[in-house]
Structure 1
Amino acid sequence: MANQAKNSVKQQYYIPLEVKEGTIITKEFENAPQQWLKIGNRLVRAIPIPATKEQYEAYMRPIWKEDKRQQRLAEKRRKREQAQEEHRVDRSVQGWDMAVSFEQLCEVEYGFMDETGQDSLDEILVKEELLKALREELAKLEDLDQIILNMASNGISEENIGREVGLSQKGVNKRKHKLLEQLREHLEDYR
């Protein structure tokens, strides 16, 4: 009987309107009580705005998605740091959230360094050829693809890239991975 009573009560949904300097509040909510509410993983001073379930989920979905992405990145960074402490390479934790230099590519992926840690003349020439080939392949890409790769290499999130170029986050992700696969195939001779 108690369960039926609980089910008959309709759940209320609220969208938290964060109150900070510069927040514009309409007359309707001018005297509304402010509360400490969570937006994603952040605790903020906010006014709860009544909403339908659909409105609430539409508002919160991107926040939940970003929080989940940040959790995954934090876990990846933790695993990467652990692998570095143990002096081992774990390719499963390498990704776009990690800065990559040409030297790291040589050490990790292409194996140019010899036992002394210095490159021979032949290895330096191979690196130069690789750089030249990479620049040529990048120059062949469409402007949109160059923008996506450039922004991604600067650590900009796929969601923000999507806003900038007019694609969805998923569209940016698919396009980026397709481009990287094409570059790998075209530069296969340098591995």
Structure 2
Amino acid sequence: MGNQKTTKVKQQYYIPLEVKEGTIITKEYEEAPRTWSKIGNRRVRTILIPATEEQYKAYMQPEWKEDKRQQRLVEKRKKREKAQAEHRDDSSVQGWDTPVSFERLCETEYGFLEKTGQAGLEEILEKEELLEALHRELAKLEELDQTILQMVINGSSEAAIGQEVGLSQKGVNKRKHRLLEQLRERLEDYR
């Protein structure tokens, strides 16, 4: 009983290739049996092509995501229909395809509901103006300063930035803080 060996059977993976009019099939798969497989939400006639686990997952991942998205849409639609049947307004089940009256849009500031914490139209326009001003100010900076800020945004450490631009870590730190302070001052009108 102590010397029993368990053998692990390696799982074989197959990628379903849909067979329809115009599908080009190589000679090695001409005689392969056709089976019904599910691709996404559709059942289709396929040939099963042997693949590695990595190939299988890379091929099927988008299909799985789309299938899950479709399932969520169906669930949301059912909840919405149930809420409508009960004559109650449930904004949590409203989707992009939910019809909305013009009056309802005006009440919620054109779809930006306050209770969700989303900004109103005026606040969005202010943020867009701020972003435009920020882009203008960033374009005025020296190339070295732009590089430092870009690397900071990408999450690089000050030591890594220093090696890239030829400054010490302390020099990068001082320059970064000076740049951020300058940007704050220049964009003071947009706060």
TM-score of Structure 1 vs Structure 2, range by shorter chain: 0.5 to 0.7
Runs of 4+ in 1 over 6 A off after TM superposition: none
Deviation at 1:40, TM superposition (A): 3.0
Q: Unaligned 5+ residue runs, structure 2?
A: 111-117, 126-191
Q: Which has the higher contact order (CA 8 A, sep 6+)?
A: 1
Aligned CA distance change for structure 1 residues 4 and 57 (closer, same or farther; 3 Å)? same
Aligned CA distance change for structure 1 residues 90 and 12 (closer, same or farther; 3 Å)? same
Structure 2 distance, partners of 1:184, 1:11, is 57
1:185 aligned onto 2:123: yes
The two structures, once aligned, show a CA RMSD in angstroms of: 3.1
AA aligned opposite 2:33:
P
Structure 2 distance, partners of 1:49, 1:2, is 35
1:54 aligned onto 2:54: yes
After TM superposition, list the pairs within 5 Å mapping 1:133-172 onto structure 2.
none
Aligned CA distance change for structure 1 residues 88 and 40 (closer, same or farther; 3 Å)? same
Structure 2 distance, partners of 1:55, 1:65, is 16
1:82 aligned onto 2:20: no
Deviation at 1:54, TM superposition (A): 0.5
Give the aligned partner of residue 5 of structure 1.
Answer: 7
Q: Unaligned 5+ residue runs, structure 1?
A: 113-129, 135-179
Aligned CA distance change for structure 1 residues 70 and 29 (closer, same or farther; 3 Å)? same
Aligned CA distance change for structure 1 residues 2 and 28 (closer, same or farther; 3 Å)? farther
After TM superposition, list the pairs within 5 Å mapping 1:91-110 onto structure 2.
91-96=91-96, 98-101=97-100, 104-106=101-103, 108-110=104-106
Structure 2 distance, partners of 1:11, 1:184, is 57
Deviation at 1:18, TM superposition (A): 0.7
Aligned CA distance change for structure 1 residues 182 and 46 (closer, same or farther; 3 Å)? farther
AA aligned opposite 2:53:
K
Deviation at 1:78, TM superposition (A): 0.4
AA aligned opposite 1:185:
E
Structure whose CA Rg is larger: 2
